[in-house]
Structure 1
Amino acid sequence: MPYLTAVVALLSVMCLLTLVLTLGVIRRLREHTKLMDALYEAIDLMGGPPGPRGALGAGELVGEFDATTMDGDRVTRELLPEGAVVAFLSADCGGCRDQLPEIASWAAAQERRQVVAVLDARSGDPEELVTALSPVARMIVGDDVPAVGKAFGVQAFPTFYQVSAGGRLLAVEGRISRLRVGSPA
């Protein structure tokens, strides 16, 4: 019987030690995640390289494009109103789906003509994005998407561009909440 008690005590100590070590690893991973987020934030604030969001940066002129929205409206670089936001989203983008409630809420607080959502639906089902955004944004889906993406130099999804009248970029961001326009969500 003393042998069995010693084994149980040893196993209890080992389990407790394992639990303490696991909690330490989790705490360390959380600290690491915060540091990585801070690093990415610092890179964004410093302007970073022309990527990862887009090949064009603030101050540059968007390339020529001519597209038609789902409502039949024509959209070109010259027809974008002052301060318009052009959101590039993809149907198979997890980050796009994660930000969808925030994007829809933000866009609902803007004039619909000020928000253009360009949706790459080649590799996924766009229904969720179209349903959420078509009431609050002009939607470009289909054959025009590659040309519009090329004009803006899109390299990642989601990417949000704020443009001046005539198509000069005012800001390029990976989150809608980072744009300094309109009413925040």
Structure 2
Amino acid sequence: MLVVVLVGSLVVINLIFTLGVIKRLREHTELLRGSFDPVAIEAGTEIGEFVSVTVDGERIAHESFTEETTVAFFAPDCRPCQEKLPKLAAYGKSIPGGRDRVLAVVVASADLAADFVALLRPVAHVVVEEPAGPMAAAFGIRAFPALLSVAPNHSGRLVVKAGTVDMDRPATVSA
């Protein structure tokens, strides 16, 4: 009988400690969730004015976007960027409208961006710019990689339609 009481007491004490740990983990999760800023401006936000030139010499500006477009920002020294790069290349091949609906911005000097440009050029319009360049500033980029869906709104202003792009799903573009 004493053994049963002892085991029962240990189970109750273990349960109390487990509930305490769960409560503490929830508190920490909330603290962490609140500490992360979005990597770019949020969905529904208007994108600032910018003018840039692609590696092919094409002018890209705010008014260049007439349809929904996937915009990706990468930095060559970013490990998650290196991991997502092949996914964006595959995604770009599958998107309706092809490379006209994908814009990749590589934030680095031209020599450091060369490998990224080589992989992305067949599937996207590619811009290479220095950190804090006009496109990164207009899109409010705070971290890499940043993958956004943008489109003109009802009044023709360019806005972020979605703050993330799931490249593991087949590419579709809504009308």
TM-score after normalising by structure 1: 0.65
| 2:121 alignment partner in structure 1 | 134
Q: 1:6-26, CA deviations, whole angstroms, 9 ceiling, x for partnerless residues?
A: xxxxxxxxxxxxxxxxxxxxx
TM-score after normalising by structure 2: 0.68
Shift of residue 76, structure 1, vs aligned partner: 1.1
Shift of residue 71, structure 1, vs aligned partner: 1.1
| 1:74 alignment partner in structure 2 | 59
Paired residues of 2:107 and 2:131 also in contact (CA < 8 A): no
Paired residues of 1:68 and 1:144 also in contact (CA < 8 A): no
Counterpart of 2:139, as a letter, is F
Provide runs of 4+ in structure 1 moved above 6 Å: none
Identity %: 31
| 1:15 alignment partner in structure 2 | none
SS at match of 1:141: strand
Q: 1:119-160, CA deviations, whole angstroms, 9 ceiling, x for partnerless residues?
A: 011498222211110111000013597111000000010001
Alignment RMSD (CA, Å): 3.0
Say which of 168, 177, 182 aligns to 2:167.
Answer: 177
2:39 matched to 1:53? yes
SS at match of 2:115: helix
1:76-95 alignment, distance < 5 Å:
76-95=61-80
2:139 matched to 1:152? yes
Structure 2 residue ranges without an equivalent (≥5): 1-24
